[in-house]
Chains A and B, each alone.
Chain A
Amino acid sequence: DTGVSQDPRHKITKRGQNVTFRCDPISEHNRLYWYRQTLGQGPEFLTYFQNEAQLEKSRLLSDRFSAERPKGSFSTLEIQRTEQGDSAMYLCASSLARLQGEQYFGPGTRLTVT
């Protein structure tokens, strides 16, 4: 088991551009989560999937953000028309549904919007 992986690790983009991040969870985990973390803060929940179904979205997730998990395996997070306030570390995590407090995080994608 190679753990949770994320790609890319770093992304620099200009304001107004669209970006897409990918997350590959631990293979036997049926839950996948996206969080955002800024410097000096704890991770903030964005959304989560159970298998391919997106079951909850945070109010933090504006309509510029969309996430998919098309076959219940990997997931993508897209941000359209990026703003400077979107600059953050985007973390993906996965877990088994019955062990929801035990989440395994990927290394994150650091987004910088210039």
Chain B
Amino acid sequence: GQSLEQPSEVTAVEGAIVQINCTYQTSGFYGLSWYQQHDGGAPTFLSYNGLDGLEETGRFSSFLSRSDSYGYLLLQELQMKDSASYFCAASIYNQGGKLIFGQGTELSVKP
């Protein structure tokens, strides 16, 4: 089957750096996306990795290693507003952009 594994919960303090890991088992893997979702809100696109390596967008960076079937999201200079659920999602070659989501990681940022 197709599956993505990520930790269920992560806690960090304001101003710190946190890394959320994602491992995947998907045939026909095409790319890895990251989404943020606040309670009661819609998922919001953060980052996409189509190639191996690091993508940086402001305080957020995302990394992909196809050989290890692994990626991570790095959040720097954590703020209270970063408390949310974070999902990794795989897109599959020749399946038209359908995303397969992980179960999500709930990030709690403490003062």
Residues of A with Cβ closer than 8 Å to B?
Answer: 31, 33, 35, 40-45, 48, 50, 55-56, 91, 93, 95, 97, 99-108
Contact = CB atoms under 8 A, between A and B. Distances in A.
B87 A42 contact: yes
Interface residues of B, number: 25
Contacts, number: 70
Contacts of A105: 35, 42-45
5 contacts: A31-B97, A41-B104, A55-B96, A101-B50, A102-B48
Nearest to B44: A105
Interface string B61-80: 00000000000000000000
A93 B99 CA distance: 11
B43 A56 contact: no
B33 interface: yes
Interface in B26-45: 30-33, 35, 41-45
Contacts of A104: 45
B96 A31 contact: yes
A101 B96 contact: no
Contact of B98 (A40, A45, A107): A45
